[in-house]
Amino acid sequence: EDNALSIVDLTTIGSVDLVTGGFTTDYGDRLAGVMTMETQSDTSARRTTLGLSITNLRATNQGDFADGDGQWLVAARRGYIDLALKLVGAGGRALTSYYDLSGKLEYRLTPNQTISFHVLYAGDSNKIPRETDGDPDVRDRFDSGYVWARWQGALGDRLAGEGVVSFSRADWHRAGDGTLEGGVHAFDLRDDRHLDTVGVRQDWAISLLERALLRTGFEFKSLAAGYDYALRREFYAIRNAQLFTDTQSVNASPQPKGDYAAAFLAPRLQLGRALVVEPGVRFERHTNPASSSWSPRLNATLSFGRTTLRAAWGIYEQAQGLHELAIADGETALHPPERAEQRVLGLAHRFESGVSWRVEAYERLSSQLRPHWENPSDPYESFPESVYGRIELKPSRGRARGIELMAQRRGEGRFDWSASYTYATTEEKIGTRWIPRTRDQRHTFYADLTYTPSPRWQFSAAWQFHTGWPTTAINYSLVPLSNGGVTYTWLYGPINAERAPAYHRLDLHATRTYRLRRGTLRVFADIFNAYNAPNEYGLSDHYAAIQQGKLVVTKIPGRMLSMLPSVGASWEF
C-alpha cells in the first residue's frame, strides 16, 4: 500500500536500474518493464551498522578476507509497522510486521573472474483479530526465499560472460472467517499456495570487431506450484420474488508444473561515431500450457554532444504464473502467454551546469490477454472471492500510452532536486468499450529536493500528486417480495467509469550526523504523508438497510496510509 515498504534493505543496494519499456533481448517473460538491483560492489572496508527506529530494527556487517580477494555483506531487518501506526491512532486492530535477511559472499578467482553466492529471505504478516462475534478474522502471511550463485568474468580479450544458478520458493497463506459486507453473509476461507523455481542463465558478449559486439545467451527454469484451497460462503439470493440463502463451496488442490526455456541473439553495431544499433531476436518456450514464440526487437541510440536520442521497438510475451490460478472463480488451467508490441522514443540532454532533462514517449499494444476477475468497488479486499459483485472481465485487446518529462540536478552544490510529469493511459477493450485499468492514473507530478548545508545536516522533501484511480458506481434499489415484504439489491454501473479523488502526499526527512571516536552516529526523523492527506482508492465497505420502508445506503471510503512519523538512529563502526 503506497509502495512504502520493500523486502530489501536499501542500505545494501549499490544501484537500481528501471527500464519501463523497450528492453533488450536478454530480458524475457516480461511484458511492461524490468527492474534490476545490484548489491554494493565494494565491501572491502570492514564495517558494522546498527539501526533502530519506530518502524524497524536493522543490522548490517561487511568486510573482506583472503588479502582482499574475498568480500562479504550481511544484513537483517525486523519491522513492526503496526506500532508506528498506533502512535498516530491509525493502526486499529491490525498486527502488521515484516522481516528480511540478505547475504553475499564474493571471491575473486582471477583478476578477470569473480564468483559470488547470495541469499535473500523475507516475509510479512498481517493479522486483524475479531473484535466482536461475527466480525471477520483476517490472517495473511507471505514468505519468500532466494538462493543463487553467480559467475562474472572474461575469457581472453574477446569473450566475457555472466552465469547464474538459482533456486527460490514463495509461500502465500491467507485465511479468515466471519461475516462480510455489514454482516450480510458468512464465510470461511483457507488459501495456501507455493511456487518453487530452479533456474540457470548464461549470457555471453563476444567482441567481433572494433565496433561490433555479439550478445547471446540462454535461460532455463523448472517451476512447480501447489495449492490447498477451501472456501465456504453463504449469501442471499433473490429468485421468483423470494429471498433465499445459498451456499457455495470450493475445494481444490492442483499441483501444476512447467518448464520455461529461452535463448537470444543480438549483434550490437556502432555505425559511425554517433549511432549504435542492436537488432535482436528472442525465442521462448513454455510447457504449461505448451507454447513457443519468436520475439524480434530493435534498439538504437544516437548521441551528438550532450544529447542522446533513443528508440526501441519489440515484441514481448509474459506467461501466467503457475501460482496465479483463480481457483475460487472456477479457473483450472493456465492461459497462453500474453503478447505485446512496444514502441519507445526518448530524447535526453545534459547541460554544463549539471542539470539534465529527458522526454520519453511510449506505446504498448497488447493481445492474447487472459480473463481476470475483479471487485470493482474494493480492489483491496482481503477476501475478494468471498464478497458480492465479483465480475469476470474478458479483454480482447489492451493499450498503454504515455509521455514523460523529467529534469534533475544531482551532485552539484548543496541542493539536489528532480521533477517529473507523466501523462499516461492504461486501458483494455471489453466488448466494444475501452475502459481504464484499475491503476490508471492520467496525470502524475513528482518533485523532490535535498538540501545539505554541511556534512552534519541533510534535509529532504518529496511531493507527489496523481489524478484519482478509476472506480465503479454502486446503485442500490428496493425489490418487492412475494410475501408482501421488501428487500434490496444492487448493481454496478459502467466499470471504472468514475474516479476517486486525486492522490497527493508529502514526505519529509532530516538527518544529523555525529563523528564519534569509534564510528559515525546518524540520527534521523521521517514523516510519511506529512500533512495526513486522506487519500482514497474507492470503497472499503458498502451496505444498505431498510428503515421505515426507505432504503438507507452506507458507503465507507477506502483510504491509503495515513501520516506515519518515524525517528531513529544508526551507528556505523
Q: pLDDT, tens digit, for every residue of 276-333?
A: 999 999 999 999 999 999 999 999 999 999 999 999 999 999 999 999 999 999 899 9
Q: How far, in Å, CA of 370 to CA of 559, rounded?
A: 29
* Element of type H or E holding 179: strand 159-180
Confidence at residue 556, expressed as pLDDT on a 0 to 100 scale: 84
User: Which residue reads 488442490 in cell numbers?
Assistant: 253
Confidence at residue 197, expressed as pLDDT on a 0 to 100 scale: 98
- pLDDT higher for 366 or 97? 366
Q: Which residues are bridge partners to 449 per DSSP? A: 417, 461
Other C-beta atoms lying within 10 Å of the C-beta of residue 513: 15
Tell me the average pLDDT across 508-534: 95
Tell me the average pLDDT across 35-52: 83
Tell me the average pLDDT across 114-129: 93
Position 151 pLDDT exceeds 60? yes
User: Is the separation of the CB atoms in 511 and 524 below 8 Å?
Assistant: yes
Confidence at residue 457, expressed as pLDDT on a 0 to 100 scale: 96
Give the tens place of pLDDT for each residue, 58-92.
Answer: 999 999 999 889 999 999 999 887 777 777 666 56
The dihedrals phi and psi of 386, each to the nearest 5 degrees, come to -100, -10
Q: How far, in Å, CA of 120 to CA of 150, rounded?
A: 14
Among the listed residues 370, 367, 372, 348, the one whose alpha carbon sits nearest the alpha carbon of residue 359: 348
Q: How far, in Å, CA of 258 to CA of 324, rounded?
A: 13
* Element of type H or E holding 84: helix 81-87
SS3 category, 549:
coil
Confidence at residue 152, expressed as pLDDT on a 0 to 100 scale: 96
For 36, residues 6+ apart whose C-beta sits below 8 A from its C-beta are: 16, 17
Tell me the average pLDDT across 22-46: 84
For residue 5, the 8-state DSSP code is -
User: Which residue reads 519506530 in cell numbers?
Assistant: 54
Q: Which residues are bridge partners to 249 per DSSP? A: 232
Tell me the average pLDDT across 126-143: 81
Tell me the average pLDDT across 89-111: 86
Nearest-5° Cα angle at 428, 427 to 434: 80
Other C-beta atoms lying within 10 Å of the C-beta of residue 278: 18
Give the tens place of pLDDT for each residue, 472-494.
Answer: 998 888 888 898 888 888 888 99
Confidence at residue 411, expressed as pLDDT on a 0 to 100 scale: 81
Confidence at residue 7, expressed as pLDDT on a 0 to 100 scale: 61
The dihedrals phi and psi of 155, each to the nearest 5 degrees, come to -115, 95
Omega of the bond leading into 371 within 30 degrees of 0 (cis): no
User: What's the grid cell of residue 81?
Assistant: 509497522
Poorest-pLDDT segment among 29-38, 83-92, 318-327, 389-398: 83-92
User: Is the separation of the CB atoms in 558 and 536 below 8 Å?
Assistant: yes
- % of residues, the chain, pLDDT over 90: 66
Tell me the average pLDDT across 118-125: 95
Most confident of 75-84, 241-250, 444-453, 480-489: 444-453
Most confident of 133-137, 221-225, 270-274: 221-225
Position 256 pLDDT exceeds 60? yes
Confidence at residue 80, expressed as pLDDT on a 0 to 100 scale: 84
Amino acid at 14: G
pLDDT confidence tier of residue 214, bands split at 50, 70 and 90: very high
Confidence at residue 237, expressed as pLDDT on a 0 to 100 scale: 83
Position 2 pLDDT exceeds 80? no
SS (H, E, C) 294-319: EEEEEEEEEEECCEEEEEEEEEEEEC
Confidence at residue 325, expressed as pLDDT on a 0 to 100 scale: 95
Q: How far, in Å, CA of 81 to CA of 55, rounded?
A: 5
For 61, residues 6+ apart whose C-beta sits below 8 A from its C-beta are: 47, 48, 49, 72, 73, 74, 75
* Element of type H or E holding 83: helix 81-87
pLDDT confidence tier of residue 267, bands split at 50, 70 and 90: very high
Mean pLDDT over the full length of the chain: 90
Amino acid at 295: S
Q: How far, in Å, CA of 338 to CA of 530, rounded?
A: 40
Give the tens place of pLDDT for each residue, 193-206.
Answer: 999 999 999 999 99
Beta strands at 290-304 and 355-367: parallel, antiparallel or unpaired: unpaired
Poorest-pLDDT segment among 394-408, 422-436, 481-495, 516-530: 481-495
Give the tens place of pLDDT for each residue, 518-528.
Answer: 999 999 999 99
For 66, residues 6+ apart whose C-beta sits below 8 A from its C-beta are: 107
Amino acid at 273: R
pLDDT confidence tier of residue 159, bands split at 50, 70 and 90: very high
User: Is the separation of the CB atoms in 380 and 560 below 8 Å?
Assistant: no
SS3 category, 385:
helix
Q: How far, in Å, CA of 360 to CA of 345, rounded?
A: 6
Among the listed residues 197, 143, 194, the one whose alpha carbon sits nearest the alpha carbon of residue 167: 197
Other C-beta atoms lying within 10 Å of the C-beta of residue 201: 18
Position 8 pLDDT exceeds 80? no
- % of residues, the chain, pLDDT over 70: 96
Q: How far, in Å, CA of 323 to CA of 319, rounded?
A: 11
Position 403 pLDDT exceeds 90? yes
Position 571 pLDDT exceeds 80? yes
User: What's the grid cell of residue 573?
Assistant: 563502526
Position 240 pLDDT exceeds 70? yes
